[in-house]
Amino acid sequence: MQIAIVETSRGGGAVPEFDPIRSNRSMSSRARTTPSPIRGPDLAAGAPRAVPVGDDGAMNPGSQESFPTDLDTRLLAAAIAIAGRARERGNHPFGALLTGPDGAVLLEAENTVVTGRDATGHAETNLVRAATAAYDAEFLRGCTVYTSCEPCVMCAGAIYWANIGRVVYALGEDQLLGLTGANRENPTMALTCRAVFAAGQRRIAVVGPVELAEAWAVHGGFWRGTTA
């Protein structure tokens, strides 16, 4: 079974450019098949925008953690590239990565539901398994998960139990449901990660959805009934 998790580094420093797999292959060389583009609502010139929401999932323009930083946007783009790699390998187009308290990329993971024959092989769950094996809970409290799509109920629970302190995502779960519909391969649940976290005993900061054109494009033509 192919393992789709890569540990990058524990070291500090900002991430000027992200190389998802630390190889000599460029991002473009991995894009052997180009998904049909899907345009999300109200996307202008690829500019990232976040919907202001509170920790309880309600619309709240004054809430903290509502808008992404430039680094957040770059790392989301990297997570989406990982999602594209998952698609190339025959899996669902989802990807995630973990950064340390200093913003350095530590781990990445992609969806392995199909090739791993594991219904729990979501990108975030694969990432959490690797993270909890490599780092202690105190360290993970200062870490951030970046994911191409909002964590589902299962993945949000895994993030909570791992003690990871922050989540940044591109597509929202409701937006994903609009793409997949009643697809039997991805019976998306209408429950936000904020609602899951709010039921816990510790706060997890959430930023998202962040509207990026590539977050929609990676799903282009993948789900039955999806139109370009």
* 113-152 pLDDT, tens digit each: 999 999 999 999 999 999 999 999 999 999 999 999 999 9
Residue-wise pLDDT for 188-225, tens only, equals 777 899 999 999 999 999 999 998 999 988 888 888 64
Residues identified as active-site: 124
pTM of the model: 0.72
Single-letter residue type at 40: G
